[in-house]
Amino acid sequence: MHLFLVDLFISIDVLSPMIKQIDSKKVIICNINPIQDHGKNKLIKYFIKKKIKYFNFLPISEKKYISYFFTKIVLLLPCLILNKLRKFIQIIYNNKNFTSEKKIKIFLLKNNIKSITYEESAPENYISQFYQVAQELKIEVIKITSGIGVIKDKSVINASKMKFCNKIILPNSMYIINKKFSKKVKIIGSLRYTLHWFKFLNKIQGKVKVDQKKITLGFFKKFYIKEKKIIDKLIEKLNKTNKFNIITREKPRDIFPDKCNIFEEDSFTSSQLIDCSDFILTARPSSILAEALIKNKKVVLLFYANAELYKTPFKRSKAFLKITNEKKILEIFKKKIKMNQIHRDTFLTKILYNWKRPKIIKKDLISFYNSLLKIN
């Protein structure tokens, strides 16, 4: 069996396209997040319907029952109170561990686990335990990168990146790979950023209705960050013109309980926002922009709101519209701009291996996971 560990929403988003390709009889999904319950997530519900085993949390260590149930009781409090307990929740998420290596070992043996896959931002307090037990049982641990390496010009695969894993799957060859770890790296691509996966998401998520008479602007922003104030000010100005549908989406990495999560208040996903938008605007160097390009959306990068964009591959690419001054923003919407497909394809080919050939990515993934079943 292949075990996939999910944590925050981002991990479900990243791992789901892979899980869908593997025989459902050979997959188990386990939530390692003590704060969030993913049982209502549409992708998790889809997998449960497909008879994939889903565990909402790890086996609890006998010594930690009291602290675990105390935490669960605290999480039942109203959001108004939980907002004041943000530091407490952060400590629980990052430092508190409610299981044990003994419990994990029993869990892995009982379910005949042959491989463990997790997304790289998963908390080390749990991943380290899984890794230690997995090495003892000779089980391969696979790390999946959260995005597609667009935050910096070059990301490095070194000892730090290879911590708590036997192999790492990459979406492209932009990474600088230390020779010591070259045999542990698999460049397969990312099914998450293919038209094949987008069509599937549309089926289970549906579409967002907007006023077709207006230009729709989709904003991606990050909560609790300086640039958010700049973007909110821009949105306020654009709203006053009454010429645009404006929809926003927070970056979904909040560790808060689902009922209090900022991004959970949105009535749509990132993919839905992109689908219904004419323009995508952001000051964040995010992998989600690849989806916007693949869907032929005009992507506007607000360089004046975040200088970090100058340190990313976005700076040189002509696949995006770059704004260095807020005064120039309205000029873009007045013009009938056609994005250059050659520039788009060049950028996407650089950051996404085989993005136009999902069948090859699927074949390589299935082959890779089947090989893990034969190791032990």
Output the pLDDT for position 224.
Answer: 57
Q: Measured over all CA atoms, what is the biggest interatomic distance in the chain, rounded to whole angstroms?
A: 65
**In the chain, where are the structural domains located?**
2-59+99-190+355-375, 204-351
H or E element, residue 61: none
CATH class for the region spanning 204-351 = alpha beta
Q: Looking at the predicted structure, is the pLDDT value of residue 148 above 70?
A: yes
Higher pLDDT, 27 or 97: 27
| Percent of the residues in the chain that have a pLDDT greater than 90, as a whole number | 35
The predicted structure's pLDDT at residue 265: 42
Local structure of 34: helix, strand or coil: coil
pLDDT in tens, 324-346: 888 788 778 877 777 788 999 98
* 2-59+99-190+355-375 and 204-351 have identical folds: yes
Q: Which of 5, 8, 296 shows the shortest CA–CA distance to 128? A: 5
What local confidence, expressed as pLDDT, does residue 146 receive? 83
What's the CATH number of domain 2-59+99-190+355-375, 3.30.450.20, 3.40.50.11190, 3.40.50.1820, 3.20.20.150? Answer: 3.40.50.11190
CA dihedral sign, ordered 164, 169, 174, 176: positive
- Region 221-238 average pLDDT: 81
Residue 36 tokens, joined: 């969030």
Size (the chain), residues:
376
Q: Which tens digits make up the pLDDT trace of 238-282?
A: 888 888 998 888 765 566 676 675 544 456 788 889 999 999 998
Chain mean pLDDT for the chain: 86
The tens digit of pLDDT for each residue in 46-104 reads: 999 999 999 988 888 888 888 888 888 888 888 888 878 888 888 888 777 888 899 99
Tens of pLDDT, residues 182-197? 889 999 999 999 999 9
Q: Which of 6, 32, 269, 39 is nearest to 146 (CA)?
A: 6
3-state secondary structure of 62: helix
Q: Which amino acid is at 14?
A: V
| Cα 288 to Cα 295: distance, rounded to the nearest angstrom | 11
The answer to whether 272 touches 242, Cβ cutoff 8 Å, is no
